[in-house]
Structure 1
Amino acid sequence: MSRPPRGLTATSLLLLVTMLASFTPTPLYPAYRQEWGLGDAEISWVFAGYPLGVMVVLVALGGMSDRIGRVPTLRLGAGLLIAAMAVLASAPSLEALVAGRLLQGAATGLVTGAGAAALMDLHPRGTGAGTSRTTLMLATGLAIGPLLAGQATARLPGPLVTPYVLTIVLLLVPFTALVALGSSRPERTTPARLLAPIRVPRSILVPVGIAAASVATTNATFAMLGSYGPDVVARAASSSSPGVAGAFVSSILVLVAVVQVLARGPRVVLMAVGAATTAAGWGAVTLAAALREPAVLVAAVPLLGVGAGLGLHASAGHVGAVSPPERRAEIYSAYLLSAFVALAASAFGLGAVVEAQGITAAAATATGVCAGLTVLVALGLLPRRSR
């Protein structure tokens, strides 16, 4: 059996742990509320600091690995992510918590753009397989993160510190492997400025735009789960346990990961189906919260998991298929930028709705947003399907 290309395993693991880290604070928000007296609007700032950090880096440095190489960029991102976890673990105040999330977002922007491009470059079965590996690692990390943090919060001492320390330990594994790679294998780079804004060629604006609308439904779901997953559980299932909330969020995200392995079919069709299914899932959550009916909430889990999973899988694959090899990190970063804009907008917008009208109204808003995006995806696909 042939050995995988050098760096493939380390890059895959780094992507997985990076996404695991993104949801590490999720089950901790009730504890922050209780200890620091935070309100819903302040929790929204904590959550939104993460995508804001990602977006700033993607705009200026999204194509950096196309210019200086994949491995150096991944090392930098992993190092910054370890530093961000240390800041969050020692945060004494809301301001420090937001700063840690901003730094975490910046590190995530470096890792995801460079990591996705590296897997497309390195995977022995080509670009499509590399993109599938990317979405599998991202989704698996998202699925493990809330469950691990929820169990650490419920069972281990130091609930506002231990989950971050565990994440640092996990990050040290791929970081050490990337450092050990050294520079023995020269990477093809292009002479250019370190800071350069990302651009999408006009010839692929339409397919990238369709993918952006599709992944926005996935990230609206992630925003709701990340900021208000425990509140949804408390409203619909009358339980405020961090373990129960973590299990609810992780159940959905496990399905997102499973879909990355099982999804088959034309990507354009999968994007439309995923968006519609996600809208239906949030409709079920709205009903469950309004009726305080746990059974309906449970029924929403497969809809949200499958819908969000299809949106992630198909949109990322679509972008990978149309991206020029020499600009893979740049184009994928543009796609990620659109995804995190949706994440930040959802966090702020839904936070305002929760503050003003409650979690049921926020779930109904998520339903409407996903339904509107479904229409956009379908309208964008109609001309292409008719050719």
Structure 2
Amino acid sequence: MSTSIHTRKRTARTTGILALPLLSVELLAFFFAASAPSPLFVVFQNRWSLGASTLTIIFAVYAIALLVALLTAGAVSDHIGRKPVVITGILVQIGAMAMFVAADDVHWIVAARIVQGLATGIVTGALTAAIVEAAPPDKKHIGVMLGSVSPLAGLALGALSSGLILQFSDTPVLSTFISLAVFFAVAGVLTFFIPESATPRPGALTSLIPRVSIPPAARAVFLASVPAIISVWMLGGLYLSLVPSTMTEILHIHTGLASGVAIAVLNGVGALTPIILRKRDSRTTTLIGAGALTAGVTITMTAIGFGSAPAFFIGTAVAGVGFGSAFSGSIQRLSPLVAPHQRAELFAALYVVSYLSFSIPAIIAGRMVAPFGLLQTELVYGAVLVAMALVALITGLIGGRDREE
């Protein structure tokens, strides 16, 4: 009997230790899958003669579907637990990967992106909250950092990996999405064996009513963080929607690997920056982010205006510093302000703002390409983005220190 009890305790400790890396990799993988299609847009363009506006629609429907899922299922894991929500999202994601594999026209790609957006929206709040909860009690900052770095690392690795597959594989679409489907299947099985970190409580059905709710204790800091969040995700939307067309039409680089590298540089630098700045307080990290965004986007737009690929990648790297530090700083500021049972609700609200900023400006930009041209559209987009980053910088400078520091 004692041996059996000891074995069960040892197994529980082992699965508990594995929870943090597993959940972090799962969050990374969802964003890996989100950016993986972008370099493959070249394949879709050649196969079905698609224009920049159509590519923007393929990008945008993902973000809109994600928003719908966030608004309905974003906080449900606070009521039924993290694991059921994560496993459901994984199953939906496997369905999306299967649709990409089966696609024989652009309508299938659009449908696959919608299902993929729903899957990501279902799990984003639950996974982010579960990562924080899986961190050791005296090292919650590790969970906060992983929760902010994993999406950016996933976006970087997804774009770079599919770009490399595109360069060296004869079947890049099949290779990319079959590999992802297998990974998610394995991850779903492993998730069954990790401990549940949230205590179930009533109100699950009520939580499915679409709404955005910010816990009162975090509202002031949340509102102060909005300009930084908007500028960060406007930048991400630009790269995932229009940069593939920018590479071919403005910078005259006719390979999907180039757009994959650009997205990887932005998000890869963004993922590394919070690690480098981990000893800085959240306010300083956010200010560095707003300043780097302003400088990086200015360099990038200048490079586009002059058609300079080297300057474009330099500006992308500088913007990546801002991308990572502004987003990470915002999460670091917000996370300590709420109770554990409010975390998924808070992160869902944060990602609603993020994905509105990610999708709506890109959709508008896609509609403007035909009448005004790609170059003029991107320059105006960049000017709006710089203005928003400056608002974030000024807000941070005059706002004083956060109440939580």
TM-score normalised by length of structure 2 = 0.89
> Deviation string for 1:1-20 (max 9, x for gaps)?
x8553522221111111110
Q: Find out whether 1:376 has 2:391 as its counterpart.
A: yes
Structure 2 residue 49 is the aligned partner of structure 1 residue 37: yes
More off after superposition, 308-317 vs 236-245: 236-245
Q: Which amino acid aligns with 1:337?
A: V
Residue 77 (structure 1) aligns with: 89
- The Cα offsets for residues 105-163 of structure 1, whole Å up to 9 and x where unpaired, read as 11111221101100111101443321101122212111100111111122112233221
User: Is the alpha carbon distance of 1:281 and 1:359 closer, same or farther for their aligned partners in structure 2, counting shifts above 3 Å?
Assistant: farther
Matches within 5 A, 1:251-270: 251-264=265-278, 265-270=280-285
Matched, 1:366 2:399: no
- Kept in 2: contact 1:58–1:337 (CA 8 A): yes
Distance 2:107 2:263 in 1: 26
Matched AA of 1:77: G
Aligned partners of 1:236 and 1:288 also within 8 Å:
no
Q: Does 1:97 align with 2:109?
A: yes
User: Which residue matches 1:150?
Assistant: 163
Partner secondary structure for residue 238 of structure 1: coil
User: 2: distance between equivalents of 1:185 and 1:141?
Assistant: 24
Runs of 4+ that moved beyond 6 A: none
Moved more, 335-344 or 93-102: 93-102
Written as runs of structure 1 = structure 2, the 5 A alignment for 1:190-339 is 190-194=201-205, 195-196=208-209, 197-264=211-278, 265-339=280-354
SS in 2 for 1:180: coil
Q: For residues 161 and 244 of structure 1, do their structure 2 counterparts lie closer, same or farther at Cα, with a shift above 3 Å needed?
A: same
Which sections of structure 2, spanning at least 5 residues, go unmatched? Answer: 1-12
> Closer, same or farther in 2 for the Cα pair 1:269/1:367, shift >3 Å?
farther
The SS at the match of 2:301 is helix
Q: Aligned-pair distance for 1:200?
A: 1.0
Alignment of 1:57-68 (within 5 A): 57-68=69-80
| Alpha-carbon RMSD | 2.1
Residues 330 and 234 (structure 1 numbering): CA distance in 2 closer, same or farther, change over 3 Å? same
Query: Residue 145 and residue 9 in structure 1: after superposition, are their counterparts in 2 closer, same or farther (change >3 A)?
Result: same
Contact 2:53-2:370 at 8 Å conserved across structures = yes
2:355 to 340, 362, 372: 340
Q: Could you tell me the percent identity over the aligned residues? A: 22
Alignment of 1:112-123 (within 5 A): 112-123=124-135
Amino acid at match of 1:259: T
| Number of aligned positions between the proteins | 384
Residue deviations 1:54-93, cap 9 Å, x none? 1101111111110000111111111111111111221222
**Equivalent residue for 2:188, pick from 172, 175, 182:** 175
What is the aligned partner in structure 1 of residue 199 from structure 2?
A: 188
CA distance in 2 between partners of 1:153 and 1:319 (Å):
39
For residues 307 and 43 of structure 2, the distance between their equivalents in structure 1, rounded to whole angstroms, comes to 23
Larger Cα Rg: Structure 1 or Structure 2? 2
In structure 1, the gaps of 5 or more residues are none
Alpha-carbon distance between aligned partners in 2 of 1:235 and 1:286, rounded to the nearest angstrom = 15
Render the CA deviation track for 1:284-325: whole Å, top value 9, x for unaligned. 222212212223223212211111111221112222122222
